[in-house]
Amino acid sequence: MRRLRQLAARTPAGRQRYVDLLRALAIGMVVLGHWAVAAIGEDAAGRPTGRSALPDLPWAYPLTWVAQVMPIFFLVGGYANAASLAARRAAGVDATAWLLDRGARLLRPTTALLLVIAGGATLASLVGVGATLVRTVAWFATIPLWFLAAYLIVVPLTPAMLALHRRFGLLVPAALAGLVVAGDVGRALGPAELALPNYVLGWLAVHQLGIAWRDADAGRHDAHPDAAAGHPPRPASARDRARERRLPLSRRAGAAALLGGLAATVLLTTVGPYPVSMLNVPGERLDNAAPPSLALLTLTVAQFGLILLLRDPAERWLRRPRPWQAVIAVNAVVLTVFLWHLTAAILLVGALDAAGRLPTPPPGSAAWLAWRVPWVLMLTVVLAALVAVFGPVEARTGRAGRTGQGRPAGGGTASGRAPAGGGWRATVRSALAAAGFAAVVYALVVNAQTPRAAPEPLGLPAAALVAYLAGAGTLRLLRSGWGSRG
């Protein structure tokens, strides 16, 4: 508590506490949503198995409009990444050093999860557990990594997307949304693979909206560059006007976004071809979340409108010490909570099954609904224990990133500035950083696409594990200053 009070007292006056609250709430709702719809049963051999109960709960499909909060995570990510990059550049830090620091916060907790899974899987295989069962358990535990793969693509694109925003403004997310529509049309009329780019384009559009939000908050383009230089302003072209038009953030704009986004989503899911559920339901031709669809983007607009409407009272509330300390505490381990919440479910199911106390009521039944409360409470206890063990990995990384002291960040100096020795050295460093991120994303995608019944004695595909460790190791070496000294 003393540490939290100190961190709260040192919070800069300009920090957007509301963004931190939204991040914590989004991850918390993802965790609760996954736990709430879990349906536990038994396979032919009497072993526990799990799946989503949503196909048995059509009455709950409209509730997924509230439960689907991954857009908020990417929206907040766009805001935070743009703000962080601008601050680091103002301090003389280059984009590659910023990216290496940003990646460390994401990859250290992820590496801890993957090493524990691979180690546990190897031990289980050595004592005679079948490779298929080992893979099934690991597959469930690594489900959260699918969204992390998309985020790890979006984050390195932040410098380029920020530059595009400064040049074209709100035309950028609009163009990305148009590409998402093209992907939707492709999968509706042809092979579903035509929509695969939407996995990047959809979340990139939401991330870009976050960049626009941060830009409007920061009050950029308030003064025309000619006027700031003391010259009469030139007549603005149509492109200039489009570029300089910032995202409106007033309560009226929030109400318009909320009502307009909801109206569009209702039309798309009733008159239009999109399903009502915003979460994955097996068998749906136009899944709204995997990959993101136009309907998910219109729901994002509605969610952003609600965010704007709630902003003023939330910010007043966050000025109080206790709420803000709670937000700091959650954000210090927020990725750990997300990464380990399904592992908590696996451990609890295994313990209850071993004790002969695992309930398996039919999804949607009265017994299943009644079991939700004790189920979530027990999972909370298990997850709290996991966070107590693995949370410090993330918390220490976050503290190092906030202080920025004591070691280089991918450069030859503690400031993280580009290494001395000419442009070629910086180019090589940037190329190696891109290769490191590409290897990590490749590994996570390969793991997600490998069937859960595949015989994998390591729990994860060996090629994916090697690629991940190589990529993460490269990024860690670059962040420590390796290769930046003459």
List, in sequence order, every residue forming a beta bridge with 160; answer none if it has no partner: none
pLDDT classification of 412: cutoffs 50, 70, 90: very low
The confidence band for 14, taking pLDDT boundaries of 50, 70 and 90, is confident
pLDDT tens per residue across span 274-304? 999 999 887 776 789 889 999 999 999 999 9
Identify the residue whose tokens are 């396979």: 43
DSSP state string for 206-237: HHHHHHHHHHHHHTTT-S-HHHHTTSPPPPPP
pLDDT at 390 over 80: yes
Q: DSSP string of 340-373?
A: HHHHHHHHHHHHHHHTT----PPTTSHHHHHHHH
- In the prediction, which pLDDT does 82 show? 95
- Indicate whether 240 pLDDT > 80: no
- Could you read off the pLDDT of 160-215 as tens digits, one per residue? 999 999 999 999 999 999 999 999 999 888 887 888 899 999 999 999 999 999 99
User: Each residue of 155-168: b (16+ CB within 10 Å) or e?
Assistant: bbebbebbebbeee
More confident residue, 255 or 399: 255
Dig out the tokens for 386 from the structure: 């996991």
* pLDDT tens-digit map of 87-108: 999 988 889 999 999 999 999 9
- Flag whether pLDDT at 15 surpasses 90: no
Q: Which of 70, 152, 142, 122 is nearest to 448 (CA)?
A: 142
Q: What pLDDT was estimated at residue 43?
A: 85
- The whole-chain average pLDDT of the chain stands at 87
Contact (CB, 8 A) for 265 and 302: yes
Q: Please report which confidence band the pLDDT of residue 244 belongs to, taking 50, 70 and 90 as the band edges.
A: low
In degrees and rounded to multiples of 5, residue 25 shows phi and psi of -65, -40
C-alpha to C-alpha distances, 359 to 24, 76, 382, nearest whole angstrom: 31, 38, 17
What DSSP character marks residue 287? -
Task: Check pLDDT > 70 for residue 314.
Answer: yes
pLDDT digits (tens, 9 = 90+) for 469-478: 999 999 999 9
Q: Are 163 and 209 in contact (CB under 8 A)?
A: no
- The torsion defined by the Cα of 22, 27, 28 and 29, in degrees rounded to 10, comes to 90
Name the residue with higher pLDDT: 284 or 131.
131
Preceding amide of 291 cis, omega within 30: yes
Rounded Cα–Cα distance for residues 392 and 381 (Å): 17
Report the pLDDT value the prediction gives residue 72, as an integer from 0 to 100. 95
DSSP letter, residue 112: H
Dihedrals phi, psi of 42, to nearest 5 degrees: -135, 145
- In angstroms and rounded to an integer, the radius of gyration of the C-alpha atoms of the chain is 23
- pLDDT exceeds cutoff 90 at 346: yes
58: pLDDT strictly greater than 80: yes
The predicted structure's pLDDT at residue 44 = 81
| Six-digit token string for 85 | 């990059």
Distance separating alpha carbons of residues 32 and 53, to the nearest angstrom: 14
pLDDT level of residue 221 (50, 70, 90 thresholds): very low
